[in-house]
Structure 1
């Protein structure tokens, strides 16, 4: 896909950004275990209500996904990320406070999830747009690989820690770990030494023309468009999968909160493996072949998850979730690096926002689909259905010639672009 990166010195600012992102991701992984259990156990919510909570946290991409890209281009990234971290900490801290006062309701959890989701939209777009301003183009694949490894490591430890905290402190109080992670992330970001120049504003200032420009660029691009569709289909049914997996393990398989945390940590291991081997595989075999194989093999292995049973039957869960997450990590890593290398610098935030609006905007829909199917069919049957539908995610590239796809990618990355400015 691109030439091998030699050397791994990415600078102290990158290291601080990496640490902030990893710590925040670890706290978020705790919440992925704790928040559904707050709803299921503390509030005695049904599967559909869990889906509504998940949809609230993810629905921000539908509400703000496109416009956020324009706003991020008009602002300095680092201060915006700090504000988002602190706002997420406050919103999430309201849940254990209300629980201690015996005032917690499903409605409050939904509102807190929505606030956290909105802040995460701006944080994510700003973060992806900020990386190229502190990392040289020739080191972007290495930098993105390290970022994804750190997120995967956090995703491995976070759920296990979350399960243990839920077991010892209760679901609501365990959310304080995520609150702390956002605060630490904000402090680390404040210590990033490089100060951004004011954003360069050219062309029309109106929101709609700028949004349309980003949309049009992505839709016309022969690499961005199919990868965006792959991500959208994967995320649609992946959100349904994620909504169902905790109720499935808790009610159908009958495992404890600690065991749920450990089992979900397997997903982090898969992400860690995918992020670790993705760059070298793309270097040796070719990015197109790796993309096609990962896009197909991941959903196929995911079919094993709903066949899981207690005891040794959990091996199917481990293998299925591990394979699914390896595939997702590899596809995500390669797609993000291509986007950062080839997108015009002045459009990167909007292009990122467009891709995320489409591919992440479907997440609340998927969460509601998962919650509704789980309520109608039961978690196991519903999980089987969405795991099967996830195979559709490979269609946009599965029938393309790997050679033709590689040629498109080589054309796009034949010459590394100039370093991205900090505006």
Structure 2
């Protein structure tokens, strides 16, 4: 299997990249369960505090998203990704240490989340722009599909393991598994041998013109622009949705932490299915048609979550999470592959950063929105309100030229000189 992948997707470097991102994703999704439980169980924090912690991790995209793309253009990507993994490992170690010494607090969890967010910004942009160096252009969709399937598989196991470990050994010690995953990822990334061409963007180039060039490309592109707006809507409102899930299950439905992890893991199955089936569905229905379909179905199937109750009623939650993840995964991998295939490598990091600045910069707003609605209206009513907002997210795509198309346009790679 490894030799088959190596031959098809650019050598063993693709396998190493896949192993690193999969391991990192496993630990990260484990932390999405464990870190809120540290706040809720160890510190007896409020739903708003959980939203604040989530917002802190996501705030980095809003603050650093644009400038990070310029820095990634100037730096070697592989060493940068290794450094980000090590920084995240150090930040997470501090939590169980603080718990053991009786010094843990919500402000510390917010600070740890902030460090994780900063490192993740640089890691994500570097990773997305490193893949085209490992995989040929005609293999990007398949390569992205396999990376997504691996990450989704890890995300399926991560919450289940996180919930079980949190119940057995406590949420603080569970974070050490994420530390190990980052160290594993750093080890595999350090063995990559794909040669990076010297950057065409020098340190002397002014940052603001480079940032404007990336933003101008995103806002002027008739395909990338609506895809980015839909992603921003799904991300912002989806973060509010996800912020409410753990408090909703723990305090409203009264589900035990171990079962919470299992339920979140069930949702990860949808990510695996989306990663595997995405290219096949796009080949049959067409890329544009598939993206419109997934963007419209996602809000509808998300409504199963607030309908769920204890016992057999949790089946509704599981079905909603699976369907939601299928839609988001297929939409994301098609958008990402289109961008990687059509944007010049000189601009790719800045275009990626510009998109993430907008589409991920709204994530802390969503986290605070979810936490605030949960405090004001209760967790179930807040979930219904969030589902109502999700219905608005496909509108940019429905009013774009993509609505009547079967396939995404085969735009040539845009060659642009650095600012």
TM bracket (short chain): over 0.9
Per the alignment, residue 312 of structure 2 pairs with 312
Q: Which residue matches 1:166?
A: 166
Q: Is the 8 A contact 2:34 2:166 kept in 1?
A: yes
Q: Which residue number corresponds to residue 323 of structure 2?
A: 323
Deviations 1:261-301 (A, max 9, x none): 00001221011111111101111210111111111111100
1:417 positional shift: 8.4
Equivalent-residue separation in structure 2 for 1:161 and 1:331 (angstroms): 27
Task: Please give the root-mean-square deviation of Cα atoms over the aligned residues, in Å.
Answer: 1.7
| Separation in structure 2 between the aligned mates of residue 195 and residue 189 of structure 1, nearest angstrom | 13
Structure 2 stretches of 5 or more lacking a match?
none
1:110-259 alignment, distance < 5 Å: 110-201=110-201, 205-259=205-259
Q: Find the residue that maps to 1:361 and give its secondary structure.
A: coil
Distance 1:87 1:45 in 2: 26
Aligned to 1:307, what secondary structure does the other structure show? coil
Runs of at least 5 residues in structure 1 that lack an aligned partner in the other structure: 419-423
Q: 1:201, CA displacement in angstroms?
A: 2.1
Cα distance in structure 1, aligned partners of 2:258 and 2:226: 39
Q: How does 1:13-412 map to 2 (within 5 A)?
A: 13-201=13-201, 205-400=205-400, 404-406=404-406, 409-412=408-411
Instruction: Provide the secondary structure at the position in 2 that maps to 1:59.
Output: helix
| Contact map agreement 2:244 2:374 (CA 8 A) in 1 | yes
| Alpha-carbon distance in 2 for matches of 1:157, 1:127 | 22
8-17 vs 396-405, which deviates more? 396-405
What do residues 71-98 of structure 1 show as CA deviations (whole Å, max 9, x unaligned)? 0000000000000000000001100110
SS at match of 2:197: coil
Normalized against structure 1, the TM-score is what? Answer: 0.94
C-alpha distance in 1 between matches for 2:205 and 2:296: 42
Q: State the 1:416 CA deviation.
A: 7.2
Distance 1:35 1:241 in 2: 17
For the residues of structure 2 that align with 1:195 and 1:402, how far apart are their CA atoms? 37
- C-alpha spacing 1:398/1:189, structure 2 compared with 1 (3 Å): same
Please give the alpha-carbon distance, in whole angstroms, between the structure 2 residues aligned to 1:64 and 1:416.
27
Q: CA deviation at 1:404?
A: 3.9
Deviations 1:137-164 (A, max 9, x none): 1111110000000111011010001011
How far residue 400 of structure 1 moved from its aligned partner, in angstroms, is 4.5
| TM-score where L is the length of structure 2 | 0.95
- Per-residue deviation, 1:9: 4.1
Taking the aligned partners of 1:345 and 1:176, their CA distance within structure 2 comes to 37
Shift of the 53–150 alpha-carbon distance from structure 1 to 2, 3 Å rule, reads same
Deviations 1:80-127 (A, max 9, x none): 000000000000110011001111000000000000100000000000
The separation in 2 between residues aligned to 1:73 and 1:87, in whole angstroms, is: 20
Alignment deviations for residues 391-416 of structure 1 (CA, whole Å, 9 cap, x no partner)? 11111113456564446x2242xx67
Q: Deviations over 1:198-248 (max 9, x none)?
A: 212269711110000000000000000000000000011011011100000
Residues 75 and 198, structure 1, Cα contact 8 Å, conserved in 2: no
* Contact kept in structure 2, 1:163 and 1:261, CA below 8 Å: yes
Q: Is the 8 A contact 1:137 1:417 kept in 2?
A: no
Quick one: distance in 1 between partners of 2:354 and 2:105?
34
Cα 1:220–1:416 shift into 2, 3 Å:
closer
Partners in 1 of 2:27 and 2:273 — Cα distance? 20
User: Aligned pair count?
Assistant: 410
Asked if 2 retains the 8 angstrom alpha-carbon contact of 1:204 and 1:210, the reply is no
Q: Is the 8 A contact 2:341 2:413 kept in 1?
A: yes
Equivalent in the alignment of 1:421:
none
Q: Deviations over 1:6-29 (max 9, x none)?
A: x84431001101100000000001
Indicate if the aligned counterparts of 1:231 and 1:359 stay in contact, CA closer than 8 A. yes
Q: Distance in 2 between matches of 1:146 and 1:299?
A: 25
